[in-house]
A and B are shown apart, each in its own frame.
Chain A
């Protein structure tokens, strides 16, 4: 009996091994495909030598590029990315794409996790400040030697530069907040904060609001901080300066337009603001250039674009400017790297930049595309460009991450009426300092 059991086990194991060996592709196959790639990619003189080894077979090695993008579906960005990928596949049938949409924050978190696990996507389509943590972790490669960067707008490049190298290829220039208004409700946009409050109060009735904006993210707080004359970092670009009078003033202002002279909803995140504005239940919204395409579709000619109103007695608010960038994970090599580089050049080609201006209403990063007549003639793009003049480049250093994380809960606490602006500013500074001390 024992013997029988053993025989059965042995037979099973042998069978399993045979089947497993059949199932795995043999080593020879792998070699052949590699040689074929080389034939496709290497300069001509080597090709002849390779041809001796490999008979016929002219199809290039299939490459699948996994692209993570922060572009969402609601404003048409994801569809635009997908259309570019489809167009590229039409020209190069061997290159296929898997486009994955992730929220900006999720993209950062997931990419770091993927880096730790060692299975990264092949291309990132994201915002500039991700370059900070990603270079800290050594997960993306510098692009200086891979592309001709001189063809891009300097301001867009500057926002992706760190430690003397460039970490992303700019697709668009801007990513800045601006004031968008519904011409049905407002004829001329407010020029300063007094006018804003005045008009806002007149327009806030029943289920209609004067102004909506995302009250949960400090990205909507920093323009006002700049408007009151402050900045998140000292001169050195990495010491947080959050416990300052301008910060207290900015928080007080946001508190006032919610409680003292209410012109905004009591609770409003990005989606709620977006919906209210699209439904015509909000006269004004503060939102970024990424949303222009969607609003143009929803409101048509009724959409107006202006600067965020000047702070009375102070400056124009300074929204952060950067852009959208393509970043290359460090793991890329060989045929995949070449395909990715070629695709990046394709995305930022003059034709596709013109397409982006038309479809998404974003300002291009390619110098050659700046002359596009669309920009000069389109009132929306003109307004967007006008807002950019008073913008300030968003810091790329990873200390900025600490500032965002420190500002977020305090901004929310002030807007919930839980904390005074003074206490919140002090708590922000403390949290940012703790976080930065923890970075090392």
Chain B
């Protein structure tokens, strides 16, 4: 048992404090470096630019791209997925040089290292380094792992097996028996069911709450509760309620004279249980968003519609819905992505680890951290990544979601 003595407190403070100070010192050092290096680099890039002018921008872009890609490939090969360092690791300066060559022969080098962008780059530098260490490096490591057979039998020195893992995602069971496409389709089904119920349920509650009545604030508070409970806790509580013997749901079913349901071992009912839990969890968010949208619709529209003799349904169809669209579209997209990648509900409700209840993300988790087929799982993860990337691109194209940022 550890006690919170002044000594322990002091030591923890010292550890945390020194880490924070190191980060601050590193950041400052980076800023100073960037500040001082930018001018000489600018001069250098001008010189390179003069030298390479005859090549033309197209050729230079192509060469620069090739050099950067070569540097990235080299880095991927250098990152060892096992415990022993990769034999290529000592060649990291080659990768660095390749990257710098790529950077400087690119026609945009003079812009990047120009005086005008010095301060912006200086300010971006810490974030850039942080992203490189925390996002790019793990991603490259993962990519490397996906080409190997990293698993408990090959824990320290996995072998390179090329694209075999990627082929096997589609040709072999991703878990014990279930193949990729059934899981994929189930995930889509799960997403559609949930989002439909979230939106319709949220809309119904929001319409009910969006009028003058007593205790409106109290109702709103009560209805928002599911959203305020941490998901894993809510899931575990729900799992308890689906217990065959002692769960609330089965007890109520028996009271009204129905047969109790095997929520945990029957695949269909387990999926239903997952959906019930997630619908309960997701409605409040939609309700809040839609309520906000409803309150921003000016009352004049409804007055005008009433004067024109529109029924309640017509008002809803032709006034409320169109004016809600700007709020509803991003909410639906968000809800779709969140439900697609929801881990807590399918994982915790599925107590018996039925493969028939796994969605893509829980299947990925089991493959990696329960069966420890890390190589297979890495390839599987990139396939899921590709699916989400495709979805995001289509979404951004359709809605022009990034227009404000890029133009």
| A and B bind | yes
Which residues does A use to contact B, with CB under 8 Å? 6, 9-10, 12-13, 16-17, 19-20, 23-24, 96, 98, 105, 109, 112-113, 115-116, 118, 133, 136-139, 215-216, 265-269, 272, 275-276, 398, 405-406, 408-409, 412, 415-416, 418, 427, 430-431, 434-435, 438-440
With CB as the reference atom, state the residue of chain A lying closest to B177: A431
Contact status A13-B25, CB under 8 Å: yes
Q: Does B201 contact A (CB under 8 A)?
A: no
Query: In the complex where A13-B29, A136-B153, A266-B260 touch, is A96 in contact with B2 (Cβ < 8 A)?
Result: yes
Of the A-B pairs whose beta carbons lie under 8 Å apart in the complex, a sample of 13, sorted by A's number, is A12-B28, A13-B28, A13-B29, A19-B18, A23-B15, A116-B374, A118-B83, A137-B152, A266-B244, A268-B245, A276-B245, A418-B266, A438-B151
Give CA–CA (A215, B149) in the complex, Å: 34
Give CA–CA (A209, B371) in the complex, Å: 35
Taking chain B's interface residues, is the majority helix, strand, or loop, or is none over half, making it mixed? loop
Contact status A408-B353, CB under 8 Å: yes
Q: Does B21 contact A (CB under 8 A)?
A: yes
Give CA–CA (A105, B353) in the complex, Å: 12
Contact status A269-B152, CB under 8 Å: no
**For B29, what are the chain A residues with a Cβ–Cβ distance below 8 Å?**
13
Contact status B265-A267, CB under 8 Å: yes
New A-B pairs, 7, CB < 8 Å, besides A9-B31, A268-B244? A6-B32, A13-B25, A19-B17, A19-B21, A116-B374, A133-B372, A409-B176
Contact status A136-B155, CB under 8 Å: yes
Question: Of the candidates A13, A98, A398, A416, which one forms a contact with B2 in the assembled complex, judged by CB atoms under 8 Å apart?
Answer: A98
Question: Of the candidates A109, A215, A427, A438, which one forms a contact with B373 in the assembled complex, judged by CB atoms under 8 Å apart?
Answer: A438
Contact status A9-B354, CB under 8 Å: no
Contact status A6-B153, CB under 8 Å: no
**For A440, what are the chain B residues with a Cβ–Cβ distance below 8 Å?**
149, 153
Q: Does B219 contact A (CB under 8 A)?
A: no
Give CA–CA (A283, B21) in the complex, Å: 64
Give CA–CA (A265, B245) in the complex, Å: 8
Which residues does B use to contact A, with CB under 8 Å? 1-2, 14-15, 17-18, 21-22, 24-25, 28-29, 31-32, 35, 83, 149, 151-153, 155-156, 172-173, 176-177, 243-246, 260, 262-267, 351-355, 369-374, 376
Give CA–CA (A16, B29) in the complex, Å: 10
Question: Of the candidates A12, A24, A113, A416, which one forms a contact with B266 in the assembled complex, judged by CB atoms under 8 Å apart?
Answer: A416
Contact status B265-A415, CB under 8 Å: yes
Question: Of the candidates A9, A20, A133, A275, which one forms a contact with B152 in the assembled complex, judged by CB atoms under 8 Å apart?
Answer: A133
Question: Of the candidates B28, B149, B177, B353, which one forms a contact with A16 in the assembled complex, judged by CB atoms under 8 Å apart?
Answer: B28
Contact status B353-A439, CB under 8 Å: no
Contact status A16-B176, CB under 8 Å: no
Q: Which 3 A-B pairs have the closest CB atoms?
A: A23-B18, A267-B244, A16-B25
B117 CB, min distance to chain A CBs, angstroms: 17
A53 CB, min distance to chain B CBs, angstroms: 26
Give CA–CA (A267, B245) in the complex, Å: 8
B263 CB, min distance to chain A CBs, angstroms: 8
Query: In the complex where A113-B369, A412-B354 touch, is A427 in contact with B25 (Cβ < 8 A)?
Result: no
**For B151, what are the chain A residues with a Cβ–Cβ distance below 8 Å?**
438-439
Contact status B21-A272, CB under 8 Å: no
With CB as the reference atom, state the residue of chain A lying closest to B265: A416
Give CA–CA (A139, B149) in the complex, Å: 18
**For A216, what are the chain B residues with a Cβ–Cβ distance below 8 Å?**
264-265, 351-352
Contact status B352-A406, CB under 8 Å: no
